[in-house]
């Protein structure tokens, strides 16, 4: 029994020595090699390396927009009859006013036309009269209307209108231009209706009420047509067109 106890104590001492040596080995840096070797591995796992960015550049889309002037240009029509917005002409401003003149013209892109033999054509000659667009007759252009001027006035009023040449008319200079025109618009009042009211119910001011002149209408109503004198005068004034609608428009 004593021998067994001695052997057990010796084994415990031996284990303590081994534990001490193992701790000393770790503390002295023996395990740093494995730690250092494990760090690059960890870095190789965590660090994916430099990233590459790819920029996707979209391809330029092919232009499929149709020019706005193409809507005015008839397809496969005669080139000489194309509207002015469909062609480009080499004009000469030194021509003699009112005389016939010819100009070399070329159709614009996306416009197709033919000659008299129905062959495709790009260059052609156009015949026209030498004059600027603002010198055209009134039937060859359209102008804006004004409802803010008095048509019945002395002297007759004018207003500045913006005029545009019709598509099939060819001329020199700008196709849009300002022009002074006489006031010429109507509010829907009929001359025949105003005259009939003046003859029949003029003593009650019906004609003046119809024309929008309510102050004069009230005056005629409460004075019984100015005892008939005002009524006769209004019949003459409306008959000759001197008295018109209150808004300054013309009769229809």
**How far apart are the two ends of the chain, measured CA to CA in Å?**
146
Residue in the block written with tokens 């031996």:
14
pLDDT of amino acid 38: 44
| Residue 158 sits in the same domain as residue 177 | yes
Residue 33, both tokens = 């090699």
Residue 13 domain flag: no
18 in a structural domain:
no
Quick check: is 156 in a domain?
Answer: yes
Going residue by residue through the chain (252 aa), what tens digit of pLDDT does each one get? 556 566 767 776 777 767 666 666 666 655 444 444 444 444 444 445 555 554 544 554 444 577 777 787 887 888 888 888 888 888 888 888 889 998 899 988 888 888 888 888 889 888 889 999 999 998 999 998 877 777 666 677 788 889 999 988 889 989 999 998 888 777 778 888 999 999 999 889 999 999 988 898 899 899 988 888 999 999 999 998 888 888 777 787
Domain assignment present for residue 177? The answer is yes
Strand partners, 129: 100
Domain limits for position 202 = 186-251
Residue that the structure tokens 């008295």 belong to: 243
DSSP letter (8 states) at residue 171: -
**Based on the domain organization, do 152 and 196 belong to the same domain?**
no
Distance CA 78, CA 116 (A): 7
- What total of structural domains would you count in the chain? 3
CB 172 within 8 A of CB 91: yes
Q: Residue 19 domain-assigned?
A: no
Shared-domain flag, residues 154 and 166:
yes
């Amino acid at each position: 029994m004593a021998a067994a106890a001695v052997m057990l104590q010796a084994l415990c001492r031996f284990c303590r020595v081994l534990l001490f040596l193992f701790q000393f080995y770790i503390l002295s840096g023996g395990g740093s090699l494995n730690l250092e070797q494990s760090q690059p591995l960890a870095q190789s796992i965590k660090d994916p390396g430099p990233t590459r960015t790819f920029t996707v550049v979209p391809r330029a889309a092919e232009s499929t927009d149709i020019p706005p002037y193409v809507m005015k240009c008839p397809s496969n029509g005669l080139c000489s009859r194309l509207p002015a917005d469909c062609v480009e002409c080499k004009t000469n401003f030194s021509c003699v006013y009112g005389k016939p003149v010819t100009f070399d013209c070329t159709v614009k892109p996306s416009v197709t036309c033919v000659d008299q033999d129905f062959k495709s054509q790009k260059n052609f000659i156009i015949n026209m009269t030498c004059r600027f667009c603002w010198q055209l007759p009134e039937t060859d252009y359209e102008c804006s209307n004004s409802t803010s001027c008095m048509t019945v006035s002395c002297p007759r009023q004018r207003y500045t209108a913006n005029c545009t040449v019709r598509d099939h008319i060819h001329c020199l200079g700008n196709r849009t231009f300002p022009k002074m025109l006489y006031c010429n618009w109507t509010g829907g009042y009929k001359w025949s209706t105003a005259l009939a009211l003046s003859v029949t119910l003029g003593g009650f001011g019906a004609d003046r009420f119809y024309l929008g002149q309510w102050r004069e209408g009230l005056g005629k109503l409460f004075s019984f047509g100015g005892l008939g004198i005002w009524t006769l005068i209004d019949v003459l004034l409306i008959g000759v067109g001197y008295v018109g609608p209150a808004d300054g428009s013309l009769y229809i």
